[in-house]
Amino acid sequence: EKNIETGHDYILSISIEAEDINGLSLNKKYTYKFSTKTDYLAPKILSITPTDEEIIDENIKEIKIIFNEPIKEKSFLDSFSIKPNCDYILNWNDEKSEVNIQFAKPLLLSTRYTITITTNLCDLNNNLLKNEYVTDYVRYMVDKYYFGKKEAKKAEKNCVEKMFKVI
């Protein structure tokens, strides 16, 4: 036995094989459609901080994603990935419309990280994200103590330019 849940579309069908207690059946299939959704608009990603293609430094502790409406947490877990893999903790605001991804360890140096949110992401009414979202970050830092400040800036610029050409 299943209960009718909020945020779903339903179709009730009764075939001509169904009979009443006297053995009488319907002369045609009966179908009834109904919904318990309160809206039909797909969720949207309003912002991700840091922004796409941003070069992030050693101070990066989290990534913040803001949606236009509350999101089902499980759908976020099913749709979210970060490559290369790293350990993180998710912290949601009370409305479930904003999530902070806090890294358990510092990100690797000279590494491009790609975040993907697939169309499996859904809001509380099971409306799916329309388009997959992909964003990249480059975690880069030159040892300023080894190079000195002026040389570090030049080395950092050269390395970043090479990373963007190679990738």
Cα 26 from Cα 46, distance rounded (Å): 51
Helix boundaries (H) for 5-103 = 73-79
What pLDDT, in 10s, does the model give residues 96-128? 999 999 988 888 878 888 999 999 999 999 999
What pLDDT, in 10s, does the model give residues 136-161? 877 765 444 444 445 545 555 555 45
- In DSSP terms, 25 is beta-bridged to 19
CB atoms within 10 A of CB 75: 20
What pLDDT, in 10s, does the model give residues 5-43? 888 889 999 998 888 899 888 889 989 998 888 888 999
In this predicted structure, what is the pLDDT of residue 146?
A: 41
Tell me: pLDDT of 51 over 90: no
Residue 48 has φ and ψ, to the nearest 5°, of -130, 130
Cα 68 from Cα 95, distance rounded (Å): 11
Residue 24, phi-psi category: left (phi > 0), alpha (psi -120 to 50), beta (remainder)? beta
CA 154 to chain centre: 36
